[in-house]
A and B are shown apart, each in its own frame.
Chain A
Amino acid sequence: MGYFSNIFNGIKTLLTGMSVTGKVFLHSRKGTITQQYPDNRKTLKMFERFRGEVVMPHNENNEHRCTGCQKCEIACPNGSIEIIWDRKVNPKTGKKKKQIDKHIYHLGLCTMCGLCIEACPTDAIVWAQNYENAVFDRSYLTKVLNQPGSKLMDGVEE
Chain B
Amino acid sequence: MPRMTVDPYYCKGCGLCIAACPKKIIRFSEDINAKGYHYAECFKQEDCIACKMCFMTCPDVAIKIEK
B and A form one assembly: no
Residues of chain A having any CB pair with chain B under 8 Å: none
Which of B's residues lie within 8 Å of A, judged by CB?
Answer: none
